[in-house]
Amino acid sequence: MSQLQKSIFIIFIILLIDQVFKIYIKTHFYYGETVHIFGLEWARLQFVENNGMAWGTEFGGRTGKLFLTTFRLLAIVGIGYWLQSSIKKNAPKKLLFAIALIFAGALGNIIDSVFYGLIFDTPGGHQIATLFAEDNYGTLFHGKVVDMFYFPMINNGVFPSWIPFVGDQTFTFFNAIFNVADFAISCGVGILIVFNKTVFPKEEITATE
């Protein structure tokens, strides 16, 4: 199997897992519903949606949402070119794997942003959303990204009183709710940071007389 085929396979598998989770959560959970994984307090599936960037970050309302989706589409083209160029240059396998993860994660959230507003409704209360609903909730490029993984490992922790500004205040760690696509992007970026010297080897400069 060529490096291109391996990269496509990685991207396909991540996209498949990401979309299966999102569609399942969207069509089986009411908004805000929480289920504890294996009964653990700190491991949960919790259905939320966001209009913004990874890890639930918001960005500028409806106009910001359109700008962000357009930016994502342009970014995915750039990442795809980076992956193709790296394959042609026989780049290190760690680099190709990292780029494939980032590409798959970005594309996974783009699918939500571009299409979910057209194929889902958003009922209120404890009702469940319908796939391919006639009364869709949005328009092209204005879909909401589905998040579901929540791991509040430390809940209602308290900062020591000697810490300036936040002393004695409560906190939750880890407080972000994310999806498979977010995780793939984070893993890809993490590989680039941790294995920086391996994935971006410096070319040896030979002295010439």
Q: What is the pLDDT of residues 105-136, one digit of tens each?
A: 999 999 999 999 999 998 888 999 999 988 99
HSE of 47, CA atoms in CB hemisphere, 13 A: 19
Give the predicted TM-score (pTM) of the model. 0.87
Residue 20: in which H helix or E strand, if any? helix 3-28
Report yes or no: 46 and 34 within 8 Å, Cβ to Cβ.
Answer: yes
Determine whether 147 is an active site residue.
yes
Phi, psi values for residue 135, rounded to 5°: -95, 75
Q: Which residue has the tokens 């579901």?
A: 148
- What is the reported pLDDT for 130? 94
Annotation marks residue 182 as catalytic = yes
61 backbone dihedrals φ, ψ, rounded to 5°: 65, -155
Q: Which of 18, 112, 147, 168 is catalytic?
A: 147
Active-site entry in 18, 112, 135, 182: 182
Q: For 31-58, what is each residue's pLDDT tens digit?
A: 999 999 999 999 999 999 987 655 455 5
pLDDT tens digits along 130-168? 999 889 998 888 899 999 999 998 888 888 889 888 888
Is the peptide bond between 174 and the residue preceding it cis, with omega within 30 degrees of 0? Answer: yes
